[in-house]
């Protein structure tokens, strides 16, 4: 039987494994202690599995990610972005998508978008110009939960400079 070939970790997986190790060691938590914490919250990962995660030999799924973040007492974003990166340091989302650490953290938290061809990824909120939203009636907020889309649209409305309209000159029909 042919051996199933594993794909290597991408940049997010590599960052995740490094951050799990850094945070676990920084808190002086042993593999046994972390494994026990995970067991107690209903997402057991044995000691060997944790060692393999940190060596990059075992992938972490979304359920593991949330359980590890909870067990380590950190928000998931702290596992996904290197802790030593400052906002304008480069960050790879995928091998072909690059941005900066600040916008990446905001995107992971759900506070921003990472623009592709829409603009500079250093844009603090990472949203396209309102004209791009207006041109696309099925734009980015269409798929969001109602409360979240309302927040984004509110932010946009507050961001657009509003100038009072001047009355039109001439054209009076006072004959």
pTM exceeding 0.85 = no
∠ CA 52-50-16, nearest 5°, is 80
pLDDT (tens digit per residue) in 70-127: 999 999 999 999 888 888 898 888 888 888 888 888 888 877 777 654 444 444 444 4
pLDDT (tens digit per residue) in 125-136: 444 444 444 434
For residues 54 and 20, the answer to whether their CB atoms sit within 8 Å is: yes
CA atoms within 13 A on the CB side of 60: 30
Structural domains of the chain sorted by starting position, each given as residue range(s) with its CATH number in brackets: 11-80 (1.10.260.40), 90-159 (no CATH)
Residue 172, pLDDT score = 54
Residue 58, pLDDT > 90, answer yes
**Secondary structure of the chain as H, E, C letters:** CCCCCCCCCCHHHHHHHHHHHHHHHHCCCCHHHHHHHHHHCCCCCCHHHHHHHHHCCCCCCHHHHHHHHHHHCCCHHHHHCCCCCCCCCEEEEECCEEEEHHHHHHHHHCCCCCCCCCCCCCCCCCCCCHHHHHHCCCCHHHHCCHHHHHHHHHHHHHHCCCCCCCCCCCCCCCC
């Amino acid at each position: 039987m042919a051996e199933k070939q594993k794909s290597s970790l991408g940049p997010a997986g590599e960052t995740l494994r490094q951050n799990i190790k850094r945070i676990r060691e920084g808190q002086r938590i042993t593999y046994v202690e972390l494994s026990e914490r995970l067991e107690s919250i209903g997402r057991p990962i044995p000691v060997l599995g944790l060692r393999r995660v940190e060596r990059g030999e075992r992938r972490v799924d979304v359920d593991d990610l949330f359980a590890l973040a909870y067990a380590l007492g950190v928000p998931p974003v702290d596992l996904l972005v290197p802790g030593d990166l400052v906002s304008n340091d480069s960050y790879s989302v995928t091998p072909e998508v690059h941005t900066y650490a600040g916008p990446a953290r905001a995107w992971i938290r759900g506070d921003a978008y990472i623009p592709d061809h829409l603009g500079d990824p250093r844009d603090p909120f990472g949203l396209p110009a309102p004209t791009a939203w207006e041109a696309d009636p099925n734009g980015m907020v269409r798929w969001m939960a109602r409360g979240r889309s309302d927040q984004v649209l509110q932010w946009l409305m507050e961001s657009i400079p509003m100038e009072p309209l001047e009355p039109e000159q001439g054209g009076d029909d006072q004959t």
